Amino acid sequence: MDLIDSYLDELEVVVRNISRDQVRAVVDVLFEAWHSRRTVFLIGNGGSAATASHMMNDLNKYTVVGNMPRFRSIALTDNVPLMTAVGNDLSYADVFVEPLKNLLQPQDILIAISASGNSPNIVKAVEFARTIGARVVGFCGHPGGQLAQLADLKIVVPSERIGHQEDGHMILDHVISAALRERIKRQSAAIVSGSQTRH
């Protein structure tokens, strides 16, 4: 078996073993955030930064349904000038916590994406979020590090291979966004049905 076969075969097993209960719990929390007009913030480093930006895009655009309210989602990974200013003037460990001090409100959601779960800038942001009463969702690798311990909700991609972990996190973005869109569509249909019934 060559690397291509082994990588893809192993990934198939990893995806099959992602906890569906963990995924459903995150969908529930994000749907409530949408319903309550809370803001969802996303953070990550490297490949996880790209996933954070991608998920922000999917939450803000893919979940749009007619005239229903829209998601409020911000990827802090996209503000390069602020990240470099904080990294230069303070430290790289502060690049996410500093903008969160400007923007994050109690009951908002912070999605932290990290394969190791131990990146200092991720841990510091998560710790701050918890102190002000925001909810933390962790997309983790295995075993999950500090992020898995600190997050209110976590989804662990059960592999020690970083490629599989990052693949899994992107899959989580897509399945969560699709599940949220479906829920919003059902709520929209229920509103229309209720309106027609009253007439």
pLDDT single digits (tens) 138-163: 999 999 999 999 999 999 999 999 99
pLDDT greater than 90 at residue 177: yes
Which residue range is the domain that position 85 belongs to? Answer: 20-185
Q: Scan for tokens 């929390």, then name that residue.
A: 29
The span from the CA of 190 to the CA of 145, in Å, is 42
Number of domains, the chain: 1
The span from the CA of 150 to the CA of 152, in Å, is 7
pLDDT value, residue 193: 80
Confidence class for position 194, pLDDT limits 50, 70, 90: confident
**Is residue 63 one of the residues assigned to a domain?**
yes
pLDDT value, residue 199: 46
pLDDT value, residue 1: 74
The span from the CA of 54 to the CA of 57, in Å, is 5
**Which residue, among 160, 154, 171, has the nearest Cα to 115 in the 3D structure?**
160
**Is residue 106 one of the residues assigned to a domain?**
yes
Rounded alpha-carbon distances, angstroms, from residue 24 to 56, 87, 172 = 19, 36, 11
Q: What is the mean pLDDT of the chain?
A: 96
pLDDT value, residue 196: 56
The CATH number of the domain holding residue 147 is: 3.40.50.10490
**Is residue 159 one of the residues assigned to a domain?**
yes
| Backbone φ, ψ for residue 192 (5° rounding) | -65, -45
**Is residue 107 one of the residues assigned to a domain?**
yes
**Is residue 92 one of the residues assigned to a domain?**
yes
- pTM (2 d.p.): 0.95
Confidence class for position 136, pLDDT limits 50, 70, 90: very high
